[in-house]
DNA sequence: GAGTGGTCTAGACCACTGA
DNA sequence: CAGTGGTCTAGACCACTCA
């Protein structure tokens, strides 16, 4: 069938592998294959060259090539079947949810983000915040509430609680750079985030902030983020205008 | 600090590795480590034994042990830092979004699911359906609409379109087994799903079906699912009562 | 300097698929 | 049967962190 056509990757794609640089070989390979899928050089349904052959052609070991391919499989762009081969998944590609801040999201989509800082205060952790941040009840925390806009249109109301060490953050930096960038600047590397996505009606106050009618439907997300030592460094409750923001997820059966 | 305590995994955890059975060694190891995390044998913040040492103790090669650990890192239960070690992430564990049907979800949470079949018909693919399923405009497709209940409480209205080969599905099977189980029985293995999660107000009809007030906020999901050959085999638009259902996602920075 | 995870090699054997 | 991906080994060298 036409769908299973063999398709050999152009040699040119792998001409300039940098073997001594800091970028891992498997990453260089996976980037090139992914690019070939996204720009149509590898059409949907087509078969990828087999692992062993590809490894020989590139002068790499099979595990290295295998890892490159597996990374793309995990992104949902390829499917593999034992005894069959590797094929490009049909359907247009959608960007998946990533561990990024809203600030980054809006920047990437060519909108100009801005922020109104609504609240910036020290509060004692209540039951929920204490549990989410793994601190004892009543511990001081930084409580912030922000209105985020894209091209001056309100998109989200974001409420966050952070461990007390962040009380020294400058409010102006928060407005200028966004929360995650400020945390990165303080040496915090976010590694894991657990999110719960749901929906509810807006409160009258939120309706005013987001410029929607009263009782409009809002998309909500609760998120707890952990740094690279496994410590909870942020808990937040966000609500988004569903006409301006939604979440995309790609799931891959393992 | 107490949080970085060394913690050696009890030998007993790895007593009965089955080296000749069909279950991969890395999977057996990762299951045991994950179990030790979930039941508290490995407390949050504790350090896991290093890869090389663990491999020696278990009589396995380092890549095998490494893969076992990496699988758990990808689930968001462990974090690794070069030069430091591997630690258990803080915070309670939440089940993440998986590639399962609602039927499975409800069964897993000990509720009794049931289904009312609202629509079961052949319709010509419109623009959206044709694009999502990668078929030509006007191709016959199976269009179904179902009301899903848990313990007789309405939870979701689910509308789906499937390629015409599924027109031979027996409506009774859909009610008894759920869509995904019926597809599995026909040899379809789902591999990749792309989902978009958002929110909107309910229509008057949906409000009646879901037993909520008019204009209530609903959680919505559009999903396209692909089988193991990369072909689109399902497109659906679902809406959920947000008080009874939400989505959990665990994100891991790579 | 010692210990850790990150990358990479060059093979091996197996399970599954389709002709 | 040949071809494919799935698993596994036994090393190697490097980059990074901390004492």
pLDDT, tens only, A180-200: 889 988 989 999 998 889 999
Q: Which of the 8 DSSP states describes residue A96?
A: P
Q: Do A147 and A34 belong to one domain?
A: no
The pLDDT confidence band at residue A85, using thresholds 50, 70 and 90, is very high
CB atoms within 10 A of CB B153: 12
Return the closest nucleotide (C1') to the Cα of A51.
D5
Has residue B46 been placed in a domain? yes
Has residue A79 been placed in a domain? yes
Range of the domain at A229: 102-240
Has residue A109 been placed in a domain? yes
Interface-testing mutation among B199, B215, B234, with chain A (most A C-beta atoms within 10 A): B199
Residue B26 CB lies within 7 Å of the nucleic strand D: yes
pLDDT score recorded for residue B3? 42
Q: Do A174 and A128 belong to one domain?
A: yes
Has residue B182 been placed in a domain? yes
Rounded to whole angstroms, the Cα distance separating B231 from B132 reads 10
Tell me which of B18-27, B34-43, B104-113 is least confident: B104-113
Mean pLDDT of B246-254: 86
CB atoms within 10 A of CB B187: 7
Dihedral angle over CA of A115, B250, B190, B100, nearest 10: -100
CA terminus-to-terminus distance, chain A: 27
Q: Do A117 and A46 belong to one domain?
A: no
Q: Do A125 and A50 belong to one domain?
A: no
> How near does any CA of chain A get to the CA of B33, in Å?
17
User: Residue A47 belongs to a domain with what CATH number?
Assistant: 1.10.10.10
CA terminus-to-terminus distance, chain B: 27
pLDDT score recorded for residue B144? 97
Residues B210-222: pLDDT tens digits?
999 989 999 999 9
Q: Do A106 and A220 belong to one domain?
A: yes
- Look at residue B40 and give its three-state secondary structure: coil
User: Residue A179 belongs to a domain with what CATH number?
Assistant: 3.40.1410.10
Contact B57, B15 (CB under 8 A): no
Q: Do A61 and A109 belong to one domain?
A: no
Residues A87-140: pLDDT tens digits?
999 876 655 556 555 555 655 666 788 899 999 999 999 999 999 999 999 999
> How near does any CA of chain B get to the CA of A231, in Å?
6
Please determine, for residue A24, whether its predicted confidence score (pLDDT) is greater than 90.
yes
What is the token pair recorded at A152? 């001056």
Query: A-contacting residues of B 140-179, CB under 8 Å?
Result: none
Q: Would you call A224 and B193 a contact, using CB atoms and an 8 Å cutoff?
A: no
pLDDT score recorded for residue B4? 45
Residue B7 CB lies within 7 Å of the nucleic strand C: no
Has residue B246 been placed in a domain? no
Has residue B228 been placed in a domain? yes
Q: Do B106 and B80 belong to one domain?
A: no
Chain D positions with a protein C-beta closer than 7 Å: 2-12, 15-18
Q: Would you call A191 and B253 a contact, using CB atoms and an 8 Å cutoff?
A: yes
Q: Do A60 and A132 belong to one domain?
A: no
Q: Do A82 and A131 belong to one domain?
A: no
Domain boundary among B88, B120, B149: B88
Residue A48 CB lies within 7 Å of the nucleic strand D: yes
Contacts of B2 (CB under 8 A, 6+ apart): B45
Q: How far is CA B74 from CA B41, B68, B78, B167, in A?
A: 20, 10, 8, 39
Interface-testing mutation among A199, A218, A249, with chain B (most B C-beta atoms within 10 A): A199
Backbone angles phi, psi at B166, to 5 degrees: -85, 0
Mean pLDDT of A212-228: 94
Q: Would you call B219 and A242 a contact, using CB atoms and an 8 Å cutoff?
A: no
Has residue B250 been placed in a domain? no
Contact A32, A13 (CB under 8 A): yes
Q: Do B133 and B71 belong to one domain?
A: no
Residues A26-80: pLDDT tens digits?
999 999 999 999 888 888 888 999 999 999 999 999 999 999 999 999 999 999 9
Q: Do A200 and A107 belong to one domain?
A: yes
Has residue A253 been placed in a domain? no
Contact B214, B204 (CB under 8 A): yes
**Average pLDDT of chain B to the nearest whole number:** 88
Domain boundary among B88, B119, B141: B88
Interface-testing mutation among A26, A88, A104, A230, with chain B (most B C-beta atoms within 10 A): A230
The pLDDT confidence band at residue B105, using thresholds 50, 70 and 90, is low
pLDDT score recorded for residue A113? 83
Rounded to whole angstroms, the Cα distance separating A252 from B226 reads 10
The pLDDT confidence band at residue B112, using thresholds 50, 70 and 90, is confident
Chain B: residue nearest A254 by CA? B191
Contact A84, A100 (CB under 8 A): no
Helices and strands in chain B: count of H runs, count of E runs: 8, 10
Q: Do B236 and B121 belong to one domain?
A: yes
Which residues on B lie below 8 Å from A81 (Cβ)?
228-229
Q: Is A192 on the interface with B (CB under 8 A)?
A: yes
Which residues on B lie below 8 Å from A252 (Cβ)?
99, 191-192
Chain B: residue nearest A230 by CA? B89
Q: Is A231 on the interface with B (CB under 8 A)?
A: yes
Q: How many domains would you assign to chain A? A: 2
Domain boundary among A88, A117, A148: A88
What percent of chain B is predicted at pLDDT more than 90? 64
Contacts of A20 (CB under 8 A, 6+ apart): none
């Amino acid at each position: 069938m036409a769908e299973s056509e063999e398709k050999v990757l152009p040699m040119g794609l792998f001409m300039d592998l940098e073997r001594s640089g800091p970028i891992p070989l498997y990453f260089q390979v996976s980037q090139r294959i992914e690019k070939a899928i996204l720009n149509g050089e590898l059409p949907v349904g087509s078969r990828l060259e087999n692992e062993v052959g590809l490894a020989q052609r590139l002068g790499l070991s099979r595990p290295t090539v295998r890892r490159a391919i597996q990374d793309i499989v995990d992104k949902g762009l390829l499917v593999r079947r034992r005894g069959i081969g590797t094929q490009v998944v049909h359907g247009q590609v959608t960007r998946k949810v990533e561990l990024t801040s809203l600030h980054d999201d809006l920047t990437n989509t060519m909108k100009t983000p801005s922020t109104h800082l609504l609240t910036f205060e020290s509060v004692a952790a209540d039951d929920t915040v204490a549990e989410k941040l793994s601190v004892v009840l009543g511990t001081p925390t930084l409580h912030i509430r922000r209105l985020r806009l894209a091209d001056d249109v309100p998109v989200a109301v974001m409420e966050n609680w952070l461990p007390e060490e962040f009380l020294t953050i400058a409010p102006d930096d928060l407005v200028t750079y966004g929360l995650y960038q400020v945390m990165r600047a303080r040496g915090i590397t976010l590694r894991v985030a657990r999110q719960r996505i749901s929906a509810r009606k807006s409160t009258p106050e939120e309706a005013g902030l987001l410029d929607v009618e009263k009782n409009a439907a809002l998309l909500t997300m609760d998120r707890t983020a952990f740094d690279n030592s496994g410590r909870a460094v942020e808990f937040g409750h966000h609500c988004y205008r569903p006409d301006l923001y939604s979440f995309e997820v790609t799931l891959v059966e393992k």
